[in-house]
Amino acid sequence: MSKRIHTTDVGSIACNDLSDLGAGKENWLVNDTNLLCALDTHSIAIANRYLVFIINWADPDDSVLRAKIRPELSPIEAEYITALEWLVFEEIRVVAIGTSKGYLLVYDLKGDLVHRQLIHPGRILKLRVRGTKRDLTQDTSSEEVCVIMPGVIARFDGSDIQRMLHQRIYETSSQFWDRDQKPKRRDIGDLGNSFERLPYQLWNVSKYGPCADAAITGIMPPPLMELQSSQRYYCAVTIGEDAVISAFRLSEDRSRSLVGAILSKVVPATFSTIASFSKMIWRSEQPATKPEPKPQPFARASPLTCLKDHPRRGERFTLSPSGTLAAITDSLGRILLLDTQALVVVRLWKGYRDASCVFMEMLANRNSSTSSSVCYEPAKSDYCLCLAIHAPRKGIIEIWQMRTGSRISIIQCAKGSKMLQPTYRFGSSMSSSPYVPLEVFLLNGDSGQLSVLNRPLN
């Protein structure tokens, strides 16, 4: 009997430039806690505290290193990179960076700064990109970018970010054709005031202590006494040290977001006009002092439930594509499968210390009469949702079928490997053909080899 192959090599990230990130040392990809990775369909972004490398892994004929970004960080405040993620639209791909001072930075593939905005004072833990389409289980569709901070969640609408990126591309192309206009060098203090401020929602979810990770799982019904409310409510789940799991109902304050959007356009223009007018009158040689950006007020966040089990604490949080399931790892080596709608733990695994989890889709239904056809492409109904558990101490990846299915396979992996998943693509249609399943990739840091986990169950 031939040995079953669980992975397929798809590319490599090996290049000499990665030595700046520590490549060449054994287990460099997993030993350095400051290293961040974000995967796209053809590229990967790898960052340490001060540098971001964009590497093309899919095309061996192309240049491996596409860009080397050194973000404009504040040396006075010792600012550094704490979060990394791709923002992928149909024709636009940019890299989003979160910093230790609460700034969101967006760079294009050329390494040029596209957007800079203060979210909230504090460290950005994670950037989550997610979208849900209207179907039988979802009444509405939404695409969003969530910024996770200790005790704080911010939500950007995907359409606002897409509109901003299109506007920046138009402005860049206009400056390219205007040869008389020379670019001006700006310092870090002026960067925050030179970009349009994107509207977003902000919630305080620190009632049960600062969170280590969190996510907005989806839209939830309003409270019983507010059935006629026109506001939209979200469910957020957080994990942390004081409460292993806690849940909140987030109220979308639409009036505040509308006013904020108007003020973001009016206030900078008004301030610029007043400053210019005062300079003309008094002819002051001293530059006008620009006000520091003020934190946005919090919208309402109502606590729903929490699970406290000292000394256990939540460490990592993974959300399923539909948002109905979440996998949570804790400090005692357990993995909890949470139903985010009922807010109930439906499954528990033990003995997985330092584990990481990602959801994936495996090809389950393979009709022999149709699969033999050359033109046959599997549909969404042919796949089943699974959970991939990477246990680095055991050197294996286990695939479990959701919700209560058995373990499907065990995959051996190298010690210095890391599981990755391509980011969500904005505007991707659920009815697109062929259906693109949720895949999991395995990156071996020591060899630089990138592999994809095979999808068939048998």
Half-sphere exposure of 62 (CA within 13 A, CB side): 15
Query: DSSP letter at 425?
Result: B
Instruction: Tell me what pLDDT residue 277 has.
Output: 47
Whether the pLDDT of residue 361 is over 90: the answer is yes
Whether the pLDDT of residue 131 is over 80: the answer is yes
Distance CA(217)–CA(52), nearest Å, equals: 29
Of 141, 41, 132, nearest to 320 by C-alpha is 132
Q: What residues have CB less than 8 Å from 241, skipping those under 6 apart?
A: 209, 210, 212, 313, 314
- Averaged confidence pLDDT in the chain: 83
Task: Report the length, in residues, of the chain.
Answer: 458
Beta carbons within 10 angstroms of residue 259's beta carbon: 12
Whether the pLDDT of residue 405 is over 50: the answer is yes
Whether the pLDDT of residue 184 is over 60: the answer is no
Query: DSSP letter at 402?
Result: T
CB 215 within 8 A of CB 144: no
Beta pairing, strands 211-220 & 396-401: unpaired
Highest mean pLDDT among 183-197, 249-263, 414-428: 414-428
Contacts of 396-405 spanning 24+ positions with Cβ under 8 A: 397/442, 397/453, 399/360, 399/362, 399/453, 400/349, 401/362, 402/320, 402/325, 402/337, 402/359, 403/325, 403/337, 403/346, 403/347, 404/346, 404/347
CA distance readout (Å), 288 to 184, 240, 268, 274, 317: 17, 43, 13, 10, 45
Task: DSSP for 292-321, please give it.
Answer: PPPPPPPB-EEEEEEE--TT--EEEEEE-T
- CA 360 remoteness from chain centre: 16
CB 418 within 8 A of CB 447: no
Over residues 87-106, the mean pLDDT reads: 94
The per-residue pLDDT for range 210-246, each reduced to its tens digit, is 999 999 999 988 887 665 667 789 999 999 988 899 9
Over residues 118-132, the mean pLDDT reads: 94
Distance CA(337)–CA(325), nearest Å, equals: 7
The per-residue pLDDT for range 21-46, each reduced to its tens digit, is 988 899 999 999 999 999 998 899 99
pLDDT classification of 380: cutoffs 50, 70, 90: confident
Over residues 304-312, the mean pLDDT reads: 90
Q: Is 241 exposed, middle or buried (0-12, 13-18, 19+ CB in 10 A)?
A: middle
pLDDT classification of 282: cutoffs 50, 70, 90: very low
pLDDT classification of 276: cutoffs 50, 70, 90: low
For residue 258, what is the enclosing H or E element? helix 254-282
- Range of weakest confidence among 124-133, 359-368, 390-399: 359-368
Q: Is 317 exposed, middle or buried (0-12, 13-18, 19+ CB in 10 A)?
A: buried
Query: DSSP letter at 198?
Result: P
Query: DSSP letter at 241?
Result: S
Whether the pLDDT of residue 417 is over 90: the answer is yes
Tokens of 195: 């970009």
pLDDT above 70 as % of the chain: 76
pLDDT classification of 303: cutoffs 50, 70, 90: very high
pLDDT classification of 295: cutoffs 50, 70, 90: confident
- Cis upstream peptide for 403 (omega within 30°): yes
Whether the pLDDT of residue 181 is over 70: the answer is no
Whether the pLDDT of residue 407 is over 90: the answer is yes
Of 32, 58, 31, 28, nearest to 43 by C-alpha is 58
Whether the pLDDT of residue 291 is over 80: the answer is no
Instruction: Tell me what pLDDT residue 311 has.
Output: 87
Whether the pLDDT of residue 160 is over 60: the answer is yes
Query: DSSP letter at 20?
Result: G
- For residues 57 and 118, which has the higher predicted lDDT (pLDDT)? 118
- CA 256 remoteness from chain centre: 25
CA distance readout (Å), 384 to 247, 447, 455: 27, 31, 10
Rounded to two decimals, what is the model's pTM? Answer: 0.85
Contacts of 289-294 spanning 24+ positions with Cβ under 8 A: 290/189, 290/190, 290/193, 293/118, 293/192, 293/193, 293/197
Over residues 280-300, the mean pLDDT reads: 62
